[in-house]
Amino acid sequence: MAHSTVSQVSVAVPTGNDISIRRSVFKRNIINFGKKSWASNLSFNLKSRNAQKSNQYIVCMSVQQASKSKVGVLPSELETAKEPPLNLFKPKEPYTATIVSVERLVGPKAPGETCHIVIDHGGNVPYWEGQSYGVIPPGENPKKPGSPHNVRLYSIASTRYGDSFDGKTASLCVRRAVYYDPETGKEDPSKSGICSNFLCNSKPGDKVQITGPSGKVMLLPEDNPNANHIMIATGTGVAPFRGYLRRMFMEDVTLKFRGLAWLFLGVANSDSLLYDDEFTKYLGEYPDQFRYDRALSREQKNKSGGKMYVQDKIEEYSDEIFKLLDEGAHIYFCGLRGMMPGIQETLKRVAEQRGENWDEKLSQLKKNKQWHVEVY
């Protein structure tokens, strides 16, 4: 049973190049710990580093804290479904959801902008971890006058309970798609990503048309709580893995995870890291069950002196990864389609060095349902 205490907490957050500072907003929620409940009313702003004169942020907050118990979640029926919900809302009849919040996730030195977008679906569009929502941006499809835009798919970045733990919201991790003219070097708004910019420009209370949920490839297998999971992401491909890890380590749910979760995240630089504060927290709380390796292409070098990409990190830990796969671990890949050729080449090279046939090994991994890929 959790015992709640009220305490004043002071947190000093360094602002060196190795940590990305972001703004987090926690709305007021009733969160249950066993039979006890408490109301969180925590909101803190970490403003731009450039506006700070000192070398540290000092964040003071008064929160009601429980001991290491996980966060309670509702409604309980979200745990009892035998099959994942699929395509409850289709493109011709989408669900009208509401934007709750849009928060910039990356620091000032990140190339481009990535946002964390919370959407209120009122519990009417349930989903499982690893699934996607479709979003139909407002306006007319320029290629089909009189018709709406095509659906854009986004991996969901929250568990089935959402960031509010009540089963009524879903979170998306969206990078604003912009186009730069190669001749002038200037941004061309006419060629910007319609849906990503609509989402990143949204305000609380705005309406959004969603479809789905869709997808079964990236569902988290929960039949064996001792299973190990290797997650490889580039950029916003980290979205489903954030959901997995919250379910494994943050929430009090049916899954009593006892295996190893190992996340590889590839981004440009420290300011581009996504959900780094959450993942670092799990490292501190579950050091025997969580590993976290970052590949920062503009800050780190691989063993050949070139840029560090996720495939370089995979090669670095290849013996451990292959051993885990041989023992039945699941491996997941999510991110831009261009990530896979380099990863496949690396895995093939490593397999050959080990005296193994990669094509045969890959075929066996797929047959055993250990291999999960979602690229876009």
Q: What is the dihedral of CA 370, 70, 167, 173, to 10 degrees?
A: -60
145's CB contacts (< 8 A; 6+ apart) are none
* pLDDT tens by residue, 329-357: 999 999 999 999 999 999 999 999 999 99
Is residue 374 flagged as an active site residue?
yes
Mean pLDDT of 188-192: 70
Nearest residue to 230 via CA among 277, 264, 257: 264
Q: How many CB atoms lie within 10 A of CB 365?
A: 18
Task: Tell me where in the chain the CATH 3.40.50.80 domain(s) lie.
Answer: 229-375
Residue intervals of the chain classified under CATH 2.40.30.10 are 76-214
User: Helices 339-353 and 318-326, interaxial angle, to 10°?
Assistant: 80
Confidence of residue 2 (pLDDT cuts 50, 70, 90): very low
pLDDT at 217 over 80: yes
Residue 213 preceded by cis peptide, ω within 30: yes
From the candidates 154, 244, 282, 309, give the one annotated as an active-site residue: 154
Rounded average pLDDT over 57-86: 69
Is position 286 annotated as part of the catalytic site?
no
Judge whether residue 14 has pLDDT over 50. no
Active site residue: 155, 196, 202, 272, which one? 155
Closest CA relative to residue 296, chosen from 274, 268, 319, 273: 268
pLDDT digits (tens, 9 = 90+) for 26-62: 333 333 333 333 333 333 333 333 333 333 322 222 2
Higher pLDDT among residues 256 and 17, named by residue: 256
229-375, CATH topology level:
Rossmann fold (3.40.50)
The percent of residues above 90 in pLDDT, for the chain, comes to 75
| Of 334, 318, 320, residue with least CA distance to 371 | 334
- Contact call for residues 172 and 117 (beta carbons, < 8 A): yes
DSSP assignment, residue 93? B
How far apart, in whole angstroms, are the C-alpha atoms of residue 155 and residue 236?
9
**What average pLDDT does this structure show over 227-235?**
98
Structure tokens at 8: 């004043």
Tokens describing residue 242: 């954030």
Q: How far is CA 343 from the centre of its chain?
A: 20
Q: Is 175 one of the annotated binding-site residues?
A: yes
On whether 236 is known to bind a ligand per the annotation, the reply is yes
User: What is the pLDDT at residue 179?
Assistant: 72
Q: Which fold has domain 76-214?
A: Elongation Factor Tu (Ef-tu); domain 3 (2.40.30)
Question: Is 335 annotated as contributing to ligand binding?
Answer: yes
Encode pLDDT of 118-137 as tens digits.
Answer: 999 999 999 999 999 999 99
